[in-house]
Amino acid sequence: MIKAVRGTRDLLPPDTALWNFVEKTVREVFEAYNFQEIRTPIFEETQLFSRAVGEETDVVSKEMYTWEDRGRAESDRGHSLTLRPEATAGIVRAYIEHKMWDRGLNKLYCMGPMFRRERPQKGRYRQFYQIDAEVIGPESSGSASPVRDAEILEMLATLLDRLGIKGWTLEMNSVGSSAERVKFNEALRVALEPVKDKMCADCQRRAVTNPLRVLDCKVPEDQPIIEKLPRISQFLDEDSRKHFEQVQEILKAVGVEFEINDRLVRGLDYYTRTAFEFTHGALGAQNAILGGGRYDGLSESIGGPPAPGIGFAIGEDRLVMTLQESMGSIQQKPDVYIAALGEGMDREAARLARELRRGELIVELGDEKFRLKKSFEAADKIGARYILIVGENEAKSGVFALKNLGTGEQVSVPRAELAERIKQVSRLRDR
């Protein structure tokens, strides 16, 4: 039997209803903040990610799905292509390619699959879904302002509240400008030199190539060493400090709670200044629902003009998991099941179904070959609220037997009143 590839999975109904509920709410909330949708390709030139995300990150060094393009045309051959492991690089590439600075401040969002060859476990997949938003523009558009950082953090808090997710925590930190990061990295390198041999293999490598990443280490034995390392807050200059304070002040003013975590560095290289994560206790080891931060130098690193920006990626798989724990699943239930009864009745049933569906009802259609008992069983199985019986007498008289499957009550309803009648009860749906 051929099965889905390890680390990938099928999303089946009724779970997909929860995914759609999330995506619909996201669109509503983001649009209220004047974000607009962007869609970029699922694969890009490999060098986009190695330059934007950073060669030394786990994502680029070990986790990308990369292949050499084959194609017939000379221009296709030999190109190294990669399935996108994250969305920001592609969006910034699009920003540069389409000279989107002409629009001033861009507030963009997208949703879709990302690919990383990680070890699969609960809440961690090789194809997973992210909901991503970015604010990017020339500095003159206000893109570097702490107003923007606070706005997207407040938007995220609003989204999680609207989805009914309780018990989330916002942790944030300032990782400084790239100049401050260089100094901090150097201080870490010096501090790690005498102790790195006692650390895990990954940290020994990171201590040399990218000491900042050591702070990401989750190995318990390494924690006492990490605890004693220098902190980024010691290296922030006046501007970075002020920026971070202003973000905090706005958040306090709008009533969004947060915690400062000066160990938070995030897995990708491009972050500057504000970095943040929302975590949730119900998720276990993979407890980050979303993460993001500012990336003021990213555009330049892939050949664009200066374009400060800030963004985040929500792990949709994890968001849905949290919702499943709190609200179970959403079951789509048809308003009515139409049971055609007797030869020639399929046509009449189809006509009625068409009318009712135009009246925005969810309608399931039976088959005249079914006996009445089988129709009732089918209606019951899909959780239909009503069954509508369409036999020869009903078709002739234009008055139909409509049975409420919840209460057992049966009434005769003229054709013209059917939609209204069904709606009355169905609008009291359980969601």
Q: Which is nearer to ligand AMP, 141 or 279 (CB)?
A: 279
Q: Which is nearer to ligand AMP, 118 or 154 (CB)?
A: 118
- For ligand AMP, which residue of 130, 145, 322, 375 counts as binding (CB under 6 A)? 130
- For ligand AMP, which residue of 267, 342, 359, 383 counts as binding (CB under 6 A)? 267
Query: Is 79 a binder of ligand AMP (CB under 6 A)?
Result: no
Rounded-to-integer distance, Cα 404 and Cα 428, Å: 13
Least distance from ligand AMP to the Cβ atom of residue 318, Å: 4
Rounded-to-integer distance, Cα 117 and Cα 81, Å: 15
Least distance from ligand AMP to the Cβ atom of residue 287, Å: 9
**Closest residue by Cα to residue 101 from 243, 272, 313, 300:** 300
What are 305's two structure tokens?
């003009």
Count other C-beta atoms under 10 Å from residue 250's C-beta. 17
CB-count exposure of residue 113 (10 Å: 0-12, 13-18, 19+):
middle
Least distance from ligand AMP to the Cβ atom of residue 291, Å: 4
According to DSSP, the β-strands at 386-390 and 336-340 are parallel
- For ligand AMP, which residue of 83, 247, 288, 341 counts as binding (CB under 6 A)? 288
Q: Which stretch binds ligand AMP (CB under 6 A): 116-124, 165-173, 357-365, 423-431?
A: 116-124
Instruction: Give the residue nearest to ligand AMP (CB).
Output: 315
Rounded-to-integer distance, Cα 344 and Cα 355, Å: 18
Query: Is 84 a binder of ligand AMP (CB under 6 A)?
Result: no
Least distance from ligand AMP to the Cβ atom of residue 288, Å: 4
**Closest residue by Cα to residue 86 from 65, 107, 56:** 65
Question: What length does the chain have?
Answer: 431
- For ligand AMP, which residue of 60, 290, 336, 390 counts as binding (CB under 6 A)? 290
Least distance from ligand AMP to the Cβ atom of residue 317, Å: 5
Q: How many chain residues touch ligand AMP (CB under 6 A)?
A: 17
Query: Is 53 a binder of ligand AMP (CB under 6 A)?
Result: no
Beta-bridge mates of residue 124: 121
Rounded-to-integer distance, Cα 196 and Cα 186, Å: 14
Query: Is 109 a binder of ligand AMP (CB under 6 A)?
Result: no
Least distance from ligand AMP to the Cβ atom of residue 11, Å: 13
Count other C-beta atoms under 10 Å from residue 189's C-beta. 17
Count other C-beta atoms under 10 Å from residue 34's C-beta. 9
Contact present, 324 and 334 (Cβ < 8 Å): no
Angle at 353 between CA 348 and CA 358, to 5 degrees: 130
Least distance from ligand AMP to the Cβ atom of residue 289, Å: 5
Least distance from ligand AMP to the Cβ atom of residue 221, Å: 24
Q: φ, ψ for residue 230 (rounded to 5)?
A: -60, 160
Query: Is 152 a binder of ligand AMP (CB under 6 A)?
Result: no
Rounded-to-integer distance, Cα 276 and Cα 76, Å: 39
Least distance from ligand AMP to the Cβ atom of residue 125, Å: 4
The 10 Å CB-count burial string (b at 16+, else e) for 4-13 is eeebeeeeee
Instruction: Write the binding mask 291 to 330 for ligand AMP: x where contact by CB under 6 A, - elsewhere.
Output: x---------------------x-x-xx------------
Q: Using CB under 6 A as the criterion, which residues of the chain lie in contact with ligand AMP when the complex forms?
A: 86, 116, 118, 123-125, 128, 130, 267, 288-291, 313, 315, 317-318
